[in-house]
Amino acid sequence: MHLFPAAPSDLPAVADMVNSAYRGDSSRQGWTTEADYLGGQRTDAQTLAHDLAANPEAILLTLRDEAAGPLLGCAWLEPATDDAWYLGMLTVRPDLQDRKLGRTMLDAAENHAKELGAIRITMTVVQIRDTLIAWYERRGYVSTGETRPFPYGDQRFGEPMRDDLNFIVLEKAI
pLDDT tens-digit series, residues 44-88: 999 999 999 999 999 999 999 888 899 999 999 999 988 999 999
If you ran DSSP here, which 8-state letter would residue 42 be given?
S
Confidence of residue 30 (pLDDT cuts 50, 70, 90): confident
| Among the listed residues 14, 84, 71, the one whose alpha carbon sits nearest the alpha carbon of residue 42 | 14
Confidence of residue 31 (pLDDT cuts 50, 70, 90): confident
Q: Does 24 score more than 80 pLDDT?
A: no
Average pLDDT score over residue span 6-17: 95
pLDDT tens-digit series, residues 76-125: 999 998 899 999 999 999 888 878 899 999 999 999 999 999 999 999 99
Predicted pLDDT of residue 34: 85
Residue 79, exposed/middle/buried by CB under 10 A (0-12, 13-18, 19+)? middle
| Among the listed residues 23, 89, 13, the one whose alpha carbon sits nearest the alpha carbon of residue 51 | 89
- Residues contacting residue 85 through CB under 8 Å, at least 6 positions apart: 77, 78, 79, 113, 116, 118, 120, 121, 122
Confidence of residue 143 (pLDDT cuts 50, 70, 90): very high
- Rg of the chain's alpha carbons, rounded to an integer? 15
| Among the listed residues 145, 149, 147, 146, the one whose alpha carbon sits nearest the alpha carbon of residue 160 | 149
